[in-house]
Structure 1
Amino acid sequence: MKFRKTSRILIAGMAIMTALSITACSDDSNKPAAKSTSTTTAVATRAANLPPQPTPEELNAQFQTAIDPNVPAAEKADMIQGGADEALITKFVDLAKSTGATLSITKVEPYGMDELLATASFSINGQPGELQPVFVAENGKWKLKKQWVCDSLGAIDPNSVPASCK
C-alpha cells in the first residue's frame, strides 16, 4: 500500500513539475500552457465536489459499524464502495469476529483525487500491527474501498474471498 502512495506522490510531483516547466518555457501564444490551466481547474473542481473529509473518529465509528455482527448487512451495504453484496459483508464481519479483530483509526489524509487513506492500529488474533484502510467518495459519502476489503480478506484467509471480489 505504501508503494502505491509513494507512486502516486511521485507521479503527482512529476505532473506538477512538468506543468511548471511548460509554463516557464512558453510564451503567450503557446497553447499547452492554456491546457495545463484548464486541467488544473478541472482537478480543483473535482476536489471541491467531494464530501467533507471526515475525522478519524467519524471513520472509526463507520468502520466499527461495518464489522459489527449486530448490525444487519442491508444497513452496511452503503458503507462499502459499490453497495457491496451481502456475501462480501458477511465474510468481512465473520472474519473480523473469528480473528478477534480490533481496529482504531488514528489518522486520515487525502489519497488521490477521490480517496482517503486512513492509518489504523489493529490487532488480529492478538497480533498488533498497523493498517491503512482506503475510503473512496461515492454518492456524497466516504465508503470503504471495495478492493481494500477484498484484499484484506484475501490477506487473512485466501479462502474467504467471495466471488464478487474476483
Structure 2
Amino acid sequence: MRPLPAITAFLTCAALLSGCGTDRPPSTTSTATSKDCSQNGKYPPSPTVDQLTGLLQRGLDPDVPAADKIDLLQGGAGDPELFNRMIPALQQADFGVTIDGVTDYCNGTANAAATLRFSGQTNESQVPLAAEDGRWKLDRLWTCALATNLQQTSPICP
C-alpha cells in the first residue's frame, strides 16, 4: 500500500503540472530549429533537451550540495535548500522526469514538454522555464506548486 501523502502528491501534482491554466499557446516546436531567441544577449541561448535533463538530474541528486543548485530555480538564492527538502518526498513517490522537447518563446520564457512519473504513473506536462541571470531556470511558481504539494514551504513561495 502506498503512503497517502505520496499518492495525494502525485494526483495534485499531475493536475497542477499538466500545463493547465497556461496562457502560452500549445506548441510542439523544439529547440532543434535554428531560430535565435537570444536577442543579442538579452536572453541565454535556447535551452536544449540535454541541457535541461542535466539540470534536473543535478537538482534531484542528493549528493549535489544545495549551494550548487541555487542556479536551477528562479529566485533560488532565497531558499538554497528547497530542492534538497523535496528530494525525500520525490524519492518516496518514485518521481522521474523525461524532457521530450523545448519551446523557446523568445521573450525570456520557455516551456519544456516533459513526461513526469509519480508512483509508477506517467503524466504529460509542460514545465515552464524563465531566463534569469543569463541562465534558464525552473519557473518559481511551478516549483512552488510542486513544493506545496510535497508539503514543503519556502520563503520564495507566495
Distance 1:87 1:71 in 2: 11
Aligned to 1:19: none
Partner in structure 2 of residue 72 of structure 1: 65
1:117 aligns with 2:111: yes
User: Which of 48, 51, 54 in structure 2 is aligned with 1:58?
Assistant: 51
- CA–CA distance in 2 between the matches of 1:46 and 1:55? 14
SS at match of 2:22: helix
Alignment identity in percent?
31
Alignment partner, residue 160 of structure 1:
152
Whether the aligned pair in 2 keeps the contact of 1:99 and 1:124 (CA below 8 Å) is yes
How far off its partner does 1:61 sit?
1.1
TM-score (norm 1): 0.67
Question: C-alpha distance in 2, partners of 1:115/1:56?
Answer: 15
Work out the CA distance in 1 between the residues paired with 2:46 and 2:60: 22
2:140 aligned with 1:143: no
More helix by share: 1
* Aligned mate of 1:82, from 75, 82, 87: 75
Shift of 1:96: 1.9
Q: Stretches of 4+ moved more than 3 A in 1? A: 45-48
Once residues 153 and 83 of structure 1 are traced to their aligned partners in structure 2, the CA distance between those partners, rounded to angstroms, is: 13
Q: CA RMSD in A?
A: 2.3
The one-letter code matched in structure 1 to 2:64 is V
Q: Secondary structure at the match of 1:165?
A: coil
Question: Could you report, residue by residue, the CA deviation over 1:20-69 in whole angstroms, capped at 9, with x for unpaired residues?
Answer: xxxxxxxxxxxxxxxxxxxxxxxxx9844211102112111111111111
Partners in 1 of 2:112 and 2:67 — Cα distance?
Answer: 24
| Structure 1 gap segments, 5+ residues each | 10-44
Question: 1 or 2 for the larger relative contact order (CA 8 Å, sep ≥6)?
Answer: 2
Provide Cα deviations, 1:47-102, integer angstroms capped at 9, x if missing partner.
Answer: 44211102112111111111111111110011111234134222232332221101
For 1:1-40, what aligned pairs fall within 5 Å after superposition?
Answer: 1-5=19-23, 8-9=24-25
Q: CA deviation at 1:110?
A: 2.1
Q: Work out the CA distance in 2 between the residues paired with 1:135 and 1:147.
A: 10
User: Take 1:53 and 1:63, find their aligned partners in 2: how far apart are those partners?
Assistant: 16
What is the match of residue 93 of structure 1?
87
| TM-score with structure 2 setting the length | 0.70
| Match of residue 13 from structure 1 | none
Residue 120 of structure 1 aligns with an amino acid whose one-letter code is: A
Runs of 5+ consecutive residues of structure 2 not aligned to the other structure = 1-18, 26-36
Q: Which has the larger radius of gyration?
A: 1
Amino acid in structure 2 at the alignment position of 1:119? A
